[in-house]
Structure 1
Amino acid sequence: MKNIAVFCGSSTGSDPVYMEMAGRLGRKLAEENLTLVYGGAQVGCMGAVADACLQANGRVIGVIPEKLRDVEIAHRHLTELHVVKTMHERKALMSELADAFVALPGGPGTLEEWFEVFTWSQLGYHAKPCCLLNVNHYYDPLIAMLDHIIQQGFMKSSYRDMIIVESNVDDLMQSLYRYQPMHEVKWR
């Protein structure tokens, strides 16, 4: 494991703990000599995770669409910044570069990005860990929804077992290092 993709908000959220945890994750990635792969912005939790990683002498790769770069939210001090044409290209490149995926709290874009890579994992397109950093119980409603989906027969419980859910950075890192990929044929 070398590159960790982090999906998170371009906003700060309503509780300072979200920015604090983004900073902790960025510092931890640098300490562990892991590269942060993220959406390339300098604002919100995205900026916090990148800034903390860079300040701890970490390596940060940003991937940002032209449209977002052009409204001046692109981080100007990254190790690498890839400018792509579309959001689809952004997600594809981030997925290609990453060895694992972590979602910090964020909005619909964060959820959409994380659900896409989680779905790809279910379908066997990759065997990379998909993690939720459940800061301040942010993802509790989502986890309850996944349990409801299982109860209603739209997802196997074994797929829920594929998701790493941790509430702090140290436990998240330990779970990432222990991760053993599993794949179950969806339609068997």
Structure 2
Amino acid sequence: MPLGKIINLLKGVFQKLPAESVDSSELPETENYPSRQTTENTDLSQKNVSENTFTESTAETSQTSLPTILEEQKMINVSMLQDELQNFVSAASDVQGAALVSPDGLALASVLPGGMDEERTAAMSASMLSLGERIGRELARGSIDRIVVEGEKGYGVLVGCGADAVLLVLAGAGVKQGLLFLEVKRVVAKIAPLMA
């Protein structure tokens, strides 16, 4: 039987025995052999400690640098989203404003007319979406393509923009609905890839 297995068996037996105080004078005298096994264990434990330290420091470094990269990427996306909305509002006729909102009601980007509160508009948009989806289910109409609010001063159109956002578009009363829906479809096609 190899020496390593014998040592492991003896260690197992001694670990299972209850600890009793033993007087060193009762122990038989043994010759002093150099403890080769102890030095190997020490070397291995030092190696394990240094490997663990390297692994932990590498993990800490990757964890601290990763959110920074993601934050920078999100900042770029937010500015690009803001630019797309700005271009849409300024280029489309009779479009007065637009807001990109998370399903939770947080504004991601917006270009709204003066006097409109961004946070309140975002919260109302999320509520409209939630209510519209519930109405669609209850009336067995399937998934909702768009929600349109028509008033004497114009339209509010709410459309899904991927799984993570909803686009609210505000348009004047003189807008042609077909053209408005076409423009909304085009801007959603531009915005949706930026949300990924």
TM-score above 0.5, yes or no = no
Please give the TM-score of this superposition, normalised by the length of structure 2. 0.28
Higher-Rg member (1/2): 2
Please give the TM-score of this superposition, normalised by the length of structure 1. 0.29
Q: Which has the higher contact order (CA 8 A, sep 6+)?
A: 1
